[in-house]
Structure 1
């Protein structure tokens, strides 16, 4: 089927949440969908739930059971057997809004390799914490801007199978930010389109990898080393590569500042200025890091 979307869902010990994720795919107003669920060695009864869905929807759902190998390999194994012209991803603890695919599929056209959307952040109980609309300007050739920070929650993204065939799948070289790496590889050679409205409910909880600050900083540095080129002849790539370095040091500075390690924070904020003289609130952060623990304690007391 020319417009078939293959939805890849890796599952590891999500017996209490996975049904909600699957139902959100089955409820899509866009009907040409196959669901490939990879049980990644679950030990909590998830597989039994998945097999029940497979029996109820044999034409639409396929379950692959594998020993635990991690989310990256699980997704890649799903991509290998996908039949769709388009590939979408959903984590087993997140939820799609019912018009998600319908609204995105209409944006694909010649030269477009990726379509994403805004995100609604929910807590473990499913209550909305905040809504994060996507930036309407992050459409078209977004590769240079994407070097600075990832703008896409993985579950919002739909890509073409052609794009994955050309640039490859998720890299196992990454412990985190493998999504960002793949979006960069796609956006380097294809256009992106965006639905600014949130089309997914992204669940925040203690197991989210994005909550591991040090891991994400290491991943960000790996992205910079792989993709950024401050000497590029393309002025946009050179400029945004410098901003990517600035953002990395800014995030490192914030991390040290939050731990009251002001000397290390100061070093990082000075590094930011070497790449961008007016990045975010670096000057203010630098001034506060010069105040030390006593000065910052006083400032907090004045608020």
Structure 2
């Protein structure tokens, strides 16, 4: 007898994005893999989200809908979804993004118990144009800790792995997914990629995204830096602080570029500095 395939839980968190949420749910329902459950966590939406979810639940038995009565934030919503999930595996989906039909099937085929998680390449959509974002073939903690979320915003892993790592950190104001992947890689030393785009990340509509507030992004990135700076040598600390400060000040001073920018990025940073100066001169002339 063929053993039963494991249940995978798709975790979708949402807040006042009803016009986009249906598209995300439809993309999860279109997956070639089964069995799959969809867990939607509504972080106290005030729009028509509850009505839309009522319609989905009347039509599909594999959907759970949880609602926070007060706003608790993205991390708390993700944690609620993971706690409620019945699947052996969990995979996240932002409410304005889409899974391509074979995402779960192909990611689960790559997963091994020794891995922290599996991720994939993806498309970024902006004004109806798609551009491919490629990711490294493998990730280690040492590579990720350099400060760049090379895995993207969503992965597939065992539900128990996230619970063992104490879930997403609600104290962070940004970079919550990056912080989670780092902690998973502390537990298990390797993550692997599916070398094809399996998701569309929508960069067109930024409504409700934390990244629209530079101060929040800066605060979140600095919090993650402080949590992980024990892994950095002196030069890497300088490099990370340089890029974190650029969130608030995209065009740093020439002194800061020359003394803090990574050597491998110095030429690019100097070009950006010159461009910024030219723009400033044109605006004041």
- TM-score normalised per structure 2: 0.86
Q: Give the 5 Å matches for 1:26-175.
A: 26-58=29-61, 60-67=62-69, 68-123=71-126, 127-136=128-137, 139-140=138-139, 142-148=140-146, 149-155=148-154, 157-175=155-173
1:197 counterpart = 2:204: no
Q: Hey, what does 2:229 align to over in structure 1?
A: 228
Residues 114-151 of structure 1 show CA distances to partners (whole Å, capped at 9, x for unaligned) of 0111121113x6x1242211122xx15x1111112111
**Selected match of 1:268 from 247, 256, 263:** 256
Distance 1:15 1:294 in 2: 42
**Residues 24 and 96, structure 2, Cα contact 8 Å, conserved in 1:** yes
**Residues 269 and 282, structure 1, Cα contact 8 Å, conserved in 2:** no
Residues 35-70 of structure 1 show CA distances to partners (whole Å, capped at 9, x for unaligned) of 111122111111111111111112x11111221222
SS of equivalent residue, structure 1 residue 252: helix
**Selected match of 1:252 from 241, 245, 249:** 245
Distance 1:266 1:253, change over 3 A: farther
Q: Hey, what does 2:176 align to over in structure 1?
A: 178
Distance 1:120 1:287, change over 3 A: closer
Structure 1 unaligned regions, length at least 5: 230-236, 259-263, 299-303
Distance 1:211 1:152, change over 3 A: farther
**Residues 38 and 63, structure 2, Cα contact 8 Å, conserved in 1:** yes
1:23 counterpart = 2:23: no
Distance 2:276 2:42 in 1: 50
Q: How far did 1:192 drift?
A: 0.5
**Residues 7 and 36, structure 1, Cα contact 8 Å, conserved in 2:** yes
> Aligned-residue CA RMSD in angstroms?
2.8
Structure 2 unaligned regions, length at least 5: none
1:13 counterpart = 2:16: yes
Aligned residue-pair number: 275
Distance 2:202 2:133 in 1: 13
Residues 210-236 of structure 1 show CA distances to partners (whole Å, capped at 9, x for unaligned) of 34444323322221211122xxxxxxx
- TM-score normalised per structure 1: 0.81
Distance 1:146 1:45, change over 3 A: same
SS of equivalent residue, structure 1 residue 117: strand
SS of equivalent residue, structure 2 residue 172: coil
SS of equivalent residue, structure 2 residue 83: helix
Distance 1:162 1:17, change over 3 A: same
Distance 1:73 1:152 in 2: 21
